[in-house]
Structure 1
Amino acid sequence: MYLPASFRQDDPGELHRQIRAMPFALLTSAGTDGVQASHLPLLLESDEGEFGTLYGHFAKANPHWRELQDGCEALAVFSGPDAYISPSWYPTKAEHGKVVPTWNYIAVHARGPVQLIDDRKSLLQIVSRLSDQHEASRPQPWAVSDAPDDYLDAMLRAIVGFALPIRRLEGKWKLGQNRSPADQAGVRQGLAASLDPHDQALAARMPITD
């Protein structure tokens, strides 16, 4: 990831919070059939390893996992809010007109070696923890144990799990830090006034400058 110093986010706690806030990742790797990519919800265990460990699973019918021999490196990309930035929001446009559009966004990249998991006990733990994470805020949370055992066994036979101990963790918060405080304020106001929820979400993450 191209990472200018002004956009770099190095705080592991902040990076972990972003992963948990947007856990649906793009998992990529390179194999004999070229680059593979799968869209997967991932679970972060932050206390496992130097930068944490990610857990997830593939459908067994997905050929991607067959390219992932144990130890093969993979990259998980977690995308945060993003938005088009109009030059009309910059006060400096009225001063000299030397402005162009850009795109602001938040992204986290996590790299590490893949460890495939296919035993029933470990697979059950992965799907249970994933479900518990996303059901926790519901009034009547669903649990994996709610499903009949024979049905659950069939579902577990249809997936392949994996662990990805994170060896390299990078974050990019491209939020106009390279612009003047006045231009940053103009962008924040422009995004906040938009009816697009993506714009509003990014406005809430913009730095507030004096």
Structure 2
Amino acid sequence: MYTREPFTLPLPAMVDFVRARSFGVLATYHDGTVHTSPLPVDLRGSEEAGLFVAGHVARANGMTAAFEAGAPATVTVMGPDSYVPAEWFGTRGRIPTWIYCAVEISGRLEVSDPARTRADVVDLIDRLQGQTVEGSTWSLDEMPPELTEGYLRNIVGYRLHDLRISSCFRLNQRKADSDRLAEVLAASDDTVRRELARLVLDPPTAGTA
């Protein structure tokens, strides 16, 4: 990912962003083919103990060959974004642009055995249930065993190790008219643009400290 220091988040903020979103696109290259898959992203571990990504894809997905080969791969997690016309800066003398938020995680793929795949699926569901439904106690154990086992047979788990994590939160930093841009975004009926208004006024990037 191309980025610059003013657009880069500190590592703890990148980890928090990925865990809050928990969805991205996994891309890898194997045997002459580029494979991509949108899927849940479970960033686990800690900066001190080591970070890794756990996940899974359908067994029928051709990407699974890259897991066996230990191929390099990249996960891109996108946040809010918007096209910005010149008029939103209160002028016709600026080139239109795009503001966006993204974190990229690169590493080495490793296939998971069935036991670890199941454990990773359970951990992911438990975390997302807790984030999404307050007080949820639902678990995979409530499913009929034959349905759960059938589902697990039809997926292949993976982990992504030796991570390199980068970010680009391009939010009009170090340019004029951010207040004007944020005012226009905040007045939008679009919830994504209203979220961007807050970020433009207070970018979470390292270069703004």
TM-score normalised per structure 1: 0.88
Matched with 1:203 is: 197
Residue correspondences, number: 201
Give runs of aligned pairs for residues 10-159 of structure 1, distance below 5 A. 11-47=10-46, 52-91=51-90, 93=91, 97-119=92-114, 121-136=115-130, 137-138=132-133, 139-159=135-155
Distance 1:164 1:125, change over 3 A: same
Aligned to 1:178: 174
User: Contact conserved, 2:79 with 2:102, CA < 8 A, in 1?
Assistant: yes
Q: Read off the aligned partner of 1:45 and give its amino acid letter.
A: R
**CA shift for structure 1 position 141:** 3.8
Question: Mind listing any 5+ residue stretches in structure 1 that lack a counterpart?
Answer: none
Runs of 4+ residues over 4 Å off in structure 1: 48-51
Q: 1:100 to 1:18 in 2, by over 3 A?
A: same
Instruction: Measure the CA separation in 1 of the matches of 2:49 and 2:141.
Output: 32
Unaligned stretches of 5+ residues in structure 2: 204-209
Following superposition, the deviation at residue 67 of structure 1 comes to 2.8
Q: Alpha-carbon deviation of 1:33?
A: 3.8
Quote the RMSD (CA, aligned, Å).
Answer: 1.9
Is residue 85–residue 97 contact of structure 2 (8 Å, CA) maintained in 1?
Answer: yes
Shift of 1:155: 1.3
Mapped partners of 2:197, 2:45: distance in 1: 28
Identity of aligned residues (%): 27
How far does the alpha carbon of each residue in 1:44-87 deviate from its partner, in whole angstroms, 9 at most, with x for none? 11327775111000110111112333431100000011111121
Tell me the CA shift for residue 106 of structure 1: 0.5
